[in-house]
Amino acid sequence: MRPDNLLGNILWLIFGGFEAALGYFIGGFMLCLTVVGIHFGLQCFKIVYSFWGSVGCSQ
């Protein structure tokens, strides 16, 4: 990982990325408690994964 990508990831996590990922993680967990919401909860976990490596990630 290049140093500018690392810096971008750190700034992203400090200025909102961590809060957004935490919100989607909690929301995904709550959705997975219901039968109807399992598919939506799993999609929330995929969004959390994208928040953790958002800068300089080739997916």
- In the chain, what are the domain boundaries? 18-53
Enter the pTM of the model.
Answer: 0.72
Query: Within 13 Å and on the Cβ side, how many CA atoms surround 48?
Result: 16
Cβ neighbours around 47 below 10 Å, total: 15
For 1-59, strand residue ranges (E) read none
37: number of CA atoms within 13 Å, CB side? 11
Residue type present at position 13: L
Could you list the pLDDT tens digit for every one of the 59 residues in the chain? 577 777 877 888 788 888 888 999 999 999 999 999 999 999 999 988 887 766 555 55
